[in-house]
Amino acid sequence: MKSMMSDNNAFSRRSFLTGAATLGAVAAATGLAGCAPTTMAETGGDAKAEDDGQAEAAVEHNPVETVECDVVVCGSGTGGMCAAVRAAELGGAVVMLEKKNAVGGTSNFAESMTGVGTKMQKELGVEIDVKEMFDAVFNYHHSAAVGPVLHSFIDNSGATVDWLVDNGCHFLTVMTFFGRFYTCHLSGDASTGTSMLNGEAVIQPMLAHAEELGVDIRLETPMTDLATEGDKVVGVYATNAKGEEILVKARGVILATGGYANNSELFEEFTLRSYDRLRVAGMDGRDGDGIIAARALGASLHHPETLNPSGECVIDSGSWNDNLNQIFSWQQNLRVNEEGERFWNEGNNQEFAAHVNALYTQNASYSIIDADLLNTLATETVFYSMPMYDVNIGSPLAGCMEAIDEGLSQGLIVKADTIEELAEKLELDPAALKATVDRYNAMCENGEDEDYGKAADYLFPVKTAPFYAAATQPIIYATNGGIKVNKNLQVMAGTHTIEGLYAIGNDAGAIYGADYDVQLMPGSCQAWAATGGRMAAEHILG
Ligand SMILES: Cc1cc2nc3c(=O)[nH]c(=O)nc-3n(C[C@H](O)[C@H](O)[C@H](O)COP(=O)(O)OP(=O)(O)OC[C@H]3O[C@@H](n4cnc5c(N)ncnc54)[C@H](O)[C@@H]3O)c2cc1C
């Protein structure tokens, strides 16, 4: 089966810079050349680029327009939006550049935000022991988070949520994953009890505020390069909706372009994993532009391989949360690899990083279900809740059998009357799969998973025909690591900062040394973006 992501864009530093060079050439040819600062690569600041022969890609810039402001923000997700609003609140003249024709990016799809010490937590009687939480998170990240930055983030996250609420954003309640820390502010309308995605709960109210405050929002205007004077970043080059190059000069440049999830080259370089095996949820356009631009100036990276893993998806299926995926990807069904062997505790699928890592250690993965379990899902209950999408433990999966019929007709799943026939349809060794299923069924009968310790509640045997199976792939929501920043969100280059340059959200690395810590700080990605945006703006204008 073909990977969903095989058509993803590759966007290397070379093509990034070459693209800008082409624009410069067009502008010059039409007589629109202007006087502009140079890039660091031109000033010889990028030793690495020279070493590997990329310095030849140095760009001559010829902007048709120069805009002067206090803060230029590149990207309009939660990070960029919060940075722009806070900078404007502080009286700064702000330009916010957005690559796409709408604001919000992948932040539109999020549904929560971590916060510690918020008014909502106080009202609900939630108390968090910050030291205990810091220790737990720091340990989870193998002590590879940057301590002062993680501390500063946790300490400021509550004020960020309160500030968002003061700006009209909507949070429903505070929840936890795995019962540890009640820090996850679920987005939604508290008056009606309805959940919301962050597009409605956070981005739209903040957009209204940005417009009121006079933020100059430029859609379809991607940042293409950083402008420098000496060692200082003094602005950015961008391509406007007409395809012309512009220069935005500013006291502070904030990179908030959302990481590199859609850039296969960077993904494979940073994670050493195959991009073909992967599916990426969320908005496209996260091509690593911020990371590439900062790296060209010699910026340090911090654990760029860390991801926001989500789970699993049927290969070639529609949305990651559609009914077919509710059946094959989100339940605790038997999983086998290309050898027809089990490889993990399928009941651990709430631990997103564990789920994705377990799949990624296999060359292929298959989810198998029998007629009995399917019938339970269709008529009684699911075993994994997604309230946002109306899927709740205690209720059957509406449209379950229709999804199976559709999956079969589209060739996304297979059906068989025996395990051997199922194996043949999956191109697995029939004897190996039969042995795995027999052993698994015996453990289900005994109520004890001796191999991987799956809870007895999820030990559903695979014994009643017809049997169904789907080939699956790991799925991520975003990349988490990136440009190394200090607690002011200033970009680091070795031991010093690059003056004038900030990175936030999925462009910025510091608080993650391992993948998304959903068990401890659910919603930390959105909170890191929002808190970073607020604090970077305050540092520039403070
Ligand atoms: C389905 C789903 C659910 C999620 N749920 C949660 C959740 O509940 N809690 C949580 O914490 N996280 C969640 N996440 C992850 C979260 O959405 C991301 O971590 C978050 O979007 C990061 O915010 P950001 O501002 O850094 O980037 P983004 O929201 O990705 O925004 C980046 C923006 O920059 C723009 N851009 C890119 N290149 C350029 C350029 N060169 N110039 C100008 N603009 C550019 C992009 O078009 C985009 O609009 C979820 C993700 C998905 C996909």
Q: Quick one: which of 528, 537, 501, 542 has its CA closest to 78?
A: 528
Phi, psi of 160 (to 5 degrees): -65, -45
Distance (angstroms) between ligand 1 centre and the Cα of 391 equals: 24
Nearest-CA residue for atom 35 of ligand 1: 75
To test the pocket of ligand 1, the residue of 13, 525, 531, 534 to mutate (highest count of ligand atoms within 8 Å of its CB) is 525
Distance (angstroms) between ligand 1 centre and the Cα of 326 equals: 24
Distance (angstroms) between ligand 1 centre and the Cα of 444 equals: 41
Which ligand 1 atom is at minimum distance from the Cα of 506?
Answer: 26
Distance (angstroms) between ligand 1 centre and the Cα of 106 equals: 4
**pLDDT the model gives residue 190:** 86
Which ligand 1 atom is at minimum distance from the Cα of 114?
Answer: 11
Here the tokens at position 305 are 């391989």
Distance (angstroms) between ligand 1 centre and the Cα of 152 equals: 21
| Half-sphere exposure in the Cβ direction for 221 (13 Å, CA) | 22
Distance (angstroms) between ligand 1 centre and the Cα of 79 equals: 8
Distance (angstroms) between ligand 1 centre and the Cα of 53 equals: 32
Q: Is 315 exposed, middle or buried (0-12, 13-18, 19+ CB in 10 A)?
A: middle
Nearest-CA residue for atom 31 of ligand 1: 77
Q: Quick one: which of 144, 61, 153, 484 has its CA closest to 294?
A: 484
Residues with CB under 6 A from ligand 1: 74-80, 97-100, 105-107, 109-112, 222-223, 256-258, 281-282, 285-286, 289, 308, 477-478, 505-506, 523-526, 529
Distance (angstroms) between ligand 1 centre and the Cα of 264 equals: 17
Which ligand 1 atom is at minimum distance from the Cα of 525?
Answer: 11
Which ligand 1 atom is at minimum distance from the Cα of 507?
Answer: 26
Which ligand 1 atom is at minimum distance from the Cα of 80?
Answer: 25
Q: For the stretch 226-239, what's the b/e string if a residue is b when 16 or more beta carbons lie within 10 angstroms of its beta carbon?
A: bbbeeeebbbbbbb
Nearest-CA residue for atom 26 of ligand 1: 505
pLDDT (tens, 9 = 90+) of the chain, 542 residues, equals: 323 222 222 223 333 333 333 323 323 222 222 334 443 333 223 333 333 434 445 679 999 999 999 999 999 999 999 999 999 999 999 999 999 999 999 999 999 999 999 999 999 999 999 999 999 999 999 999 999 999 999 999 999 999 999 999 999 999 998 778 999 999 999 889 888 999 999 999 999 999 999 999 999 999 999 999 999 999 999 999 999 999 999 999 999 999 999 999 999 999 999 999 999 999 999 999 999 999 999 999 999 999 999 999 999 999 989 999 999 999 999 999 999 999 999 999 888 899 999 999 999 999 999 999 999 999 999 999 887 788 999 999 999 999 999 999 999 999 999 999 999 999 999 999 999 999 999 999 999 999 999 999 999 999 999 999 999 999 999 999 999 999 999 999 999 999 999 999 999 999 999 999 998 999 999 999 999 999 999 999 98
Nearest-CA residue for atom 7 of ligand 1: 110
Residue with tokens 């559903």: 460
To test the pocket of ligand 1, the residue of 86, 107, 109 to mutate (highest count of ligand atoms within 8 Å of its CB) is 107
Distance (angstroms) between ligand 1 centre and the Cα of 516 equals: 14
Nearest-CA residue for atom 33 of ligand 1: 75
Which ligand 1 atom is at minimum distance from the Cα of 238?
Answer: 42
Distance (angstroms) between ligand 1 centre and the Cα of 482 equals: 14
The ipTM (two decimal places) reads 0.99
Distance (angstroms) between ligand 1 centre and the Cα of 257 equals: 8
**pLDDT the model gives residue 213:** 98
Strands 482-484 and 508-509: parallel
Distance (angstroms) between ligand 1 centre and the Cα of 44 equals: 33
Q: Quick one: which of 243, 201, 226, 241 has its CA closest to 523?
A: 201
**pLDDT the model gives residue 279:** 96
Which ligand 1 atom is at minimum distance from the Cα of 528?
Answer: 11
Q: Which DSSP category does 10 fall into? A: P
**pLDDT the model gives residue 349:** 86
Distance (angstroms) between ligand 1 centre and the Cα of 387 equals: 21
To test the pocket of ligand 1, the residue of 257, 310, 483 to mutate (highest count of ligand atoms within 8 Å of its CB) is 257
Quick check: 484 and 301 in contact, CB under 8 A?
A: yes
Nearest-CA residue for atom 37 of ligand 1: 257
Quick check: 113 and 163 in contact, CB under 8 A?
A: no
Quick check: 336 and 518 in contact, CB under 8 A?
A: no
Residue with tokens 């940057």: 146
Q: For the stretch 122-154, what's the b/e string if a residue is b when 16 or more beta carbons lie within 10 angstroms of its beta carbon?
A: eeeebebeeeebbebbbebbeeebbeebbbbbb
Q: Quick one: which of 425, 407, 432 has its CA closest to 315?
A: 407
- Give CA–CA dist 516/273, Å, rounded: 17
**pLDDT the model gives residue 147:** 98
Neighbours of 47 (CB within 10 A): 10
Q: Which domains does the chain have, with CATH numbers?
A: 316-476 (3.90.700.10)
Which ligand 1 atom is at minimum distance from the Cα of 320?
Answer: 1
Distance (angstroms) between ligand 1 centre and the Cα of 457 equals: 35
Nearest-CA residue for atom 27 of ligand 1: 258
